[in-house]
Structures are given as C-alpha cells and as structure tokens.
Structure 1
Amino acid sequence: MKLILTREQLDADVTIGSLTVDGAWCAWVCEDTVRPPGQKVYGKTAIPYGTYRIDITMSARFKRPLPLLLNVPMFEGIRIHPGNTAADTEGCLLPGLQRWPKGVGESRKAFDALYVQLVAAKARGESITIDIVGADL
C-alpha cells in the first residue's frame, strides 16, 4: 500500500497537505511547520520530505494501536492520529475530511477510515509506505 502526502500549504504556523492511498484521495493532513533540512524546533516541526515505512504498533501515549512512521531522521514516535490543528501534534500527521485555513475537520472520521485500510493491508502482509512530497522551501 502506498500513501502519498503532498504538502500544499506551508505557513509559518501550520502545514496542510493532501493524502492519497494507492492513488485515491483519502484526506487532508495537518502538520507542524516545515523547516529547512536539518533544522528542528522540538514539537513544532514537520518531518522531513521523504519515503517512510509504516507499521501499526501500540502507542503508550494514546493507549491503543496506531500507525507509526519508521526511521524518520531526527524524530521518534511519529504517528498518524486524530487532531485538528498544529497544536494537537508534535510532528505527527493529523488526517481530516475538511480543510480549514489553519487545520482540518472531521479528523476522527478520516482517521478511522484510513486506519481500516492500513490494518487490512497489514493483515494481507503488504508493505505500507508514505511518500511526503510537495513544494520546496
């Protein structure tokens, strides 16, 4: 399964992108601010552009299994989970069905639909990856 997150809105306080799953639109995604390569402000920086494998593992913070992006440079514990604004994330990806000027809406619905697809792909033994692409700084 291949997810592609295309970053479309790169503001000083939030990043909004469009997520596809195997070529079909799935959700908007809210993230922290994109910064130049190698620059990181803890809890306020989007993960670097690139391709990452995804696994579903137990989250100690959320006390439930959640998608985890693996081997993200300079980051640990990057997950996909519900949330609406950059204040709800510390580098994680927050899916939503509505695009707001500074966030996303209907996040739980978007997350639940995506999670079902990810769990099914994992059950089939598929590799799951996400490509994070978009406008450069």
Structure 2
Amino acid sequence: MKLTLKRKFFGDKYTIGDLFIDGKFFCNTIEDTVRELPSVCPNTPKGISCTCPGKVYAETAIPAGTYKVTMKYSSKFKRVLPYLHDVPHFIGILIHSGNDQTASAGCIIVGKNKIKGKVLESRATSDALNAILSKEKDITIEIIAHGFNN
C-alpha cells in the first residue's frame, strides 16, 4: 500500500497537505513548518535530539522523501498508530489526530481542513486510516513538497 502526502500550502507556522491512499484522496493533513535541513543528520540515528542547523524543535516538518510505515503502539497516545521509519533529523514520527500544528512536533496530523490553519474531525479520520492500515503489511509514504525545495 502506498500513501502519498502532497504538501500544498506552506505557511509561517504550519503546512497543509493532501493524503492519498494508492492514488485516491483520503484526507487533509497539517504539519509543522517546512524548513531547509541538511541532507544527513549524524545525531538522530543514535536517538539523540537533532541539533542540525535549520531545525526548530516541535516546529519543523519532516523532510520530503519516502519512508516505510508500520503500525506501532504509542505509549504517549496509548494506541496503535502509523509509525514512519528512518526519518532524518527525527525520531518517533507518527500519523495521528490533533487540531493544528501545535499537536504535531514533527508528526503528521490528519483530518479535514475546513478552517484556515486547522483540521477538523481528526480523531475519526485517524481511526479510519488506522483501520485501513492495520490490514496491510507493506506500507510506504511518499511526502512530496510542491513549490518548496527541501
């Protein structure tokens, strides 16, 4: 199964995108601000907080690219959620519910972008996504940043 996240609005505080499942639109997303980051991060593979230039903790979206996704229990959220593997500059990146970028800390928030700078119906959207992904073994997500070089 292939997820595709097409980022489409790049604000000062947040990024809005569209999430597709095997080419079919599923929902909107909200993330932190997309920032220019070095292509390699020597710190995050060791589980240490990234100190690379350009990254602002809990205010930076993950780099565009393709990542393996597995369903993993989150002790923070007390539920199984989609987990992105081997994301440069980041550890613990999930796809989960929230209302705006302040709930993100680098993660991808799903919902319906009906209000500027927010997503609504996020928990229901997250639950629906989890139900679909929990039936799959081989999942990837490609994050495409249209109109921004990162």
Smaller-chain TM-score bracket? over 0.9
Deviation at 1:104? 0.8
Q: How does 1:57-76 map to 2 (within 5 A)?
A: 57-76=72-91
Match of 2:21 in 1: 21
Report the TM-score when normalising by structure 2.
Answer: 0.85
User: SS at the partner of 1:121?
Assistant: coil
Which residue of the partner structure matches residue 112 of structure 1? 127
Task: Look up the SS of the partner of 2:76 in the other structure.
Answer: coil
In our comparison, the structure showing a higher alpha carbon Rg is 2
Cα distance in 2 between the residues matched to 1:70 and 1:99? 30
Task: Give the letter aligned to residue 58 of structure 1.
Answer: Y
Contact 1:98/1:106 (CA < 8 Å) preserved in 2?
no
- Return the letter of the residue paired with 1:121: E
* Structure 1 residue runs of 4 or more that deviate by more than 3 Å after TM superposition: none
| Alpha-carbon distance, 1:129 to partner | 0.3
Unaligned runs of 5+ in 1: none
Aligned match of 1:133: 144
In structure 2, give the amino acid aligned to 1:134: A
Gaps of 5+ in 2: 39-53
RMSD across aligned C-alpha pairs, in angstroms? 1.0
Does the 8 A contact of 2:29 with 2:113 survive in 1? Answer: no
Match for 2:15: what amino acid? T
Contact 2:5 2:18 in 1 (8 A): yes
Number of residue pairs aligned between Structure 1 and Structure 2:
133
Q: Which amino acid aligns with 1:5?
A: L
Distance in 2 separating the partners of 1:5 and 1:13: 18
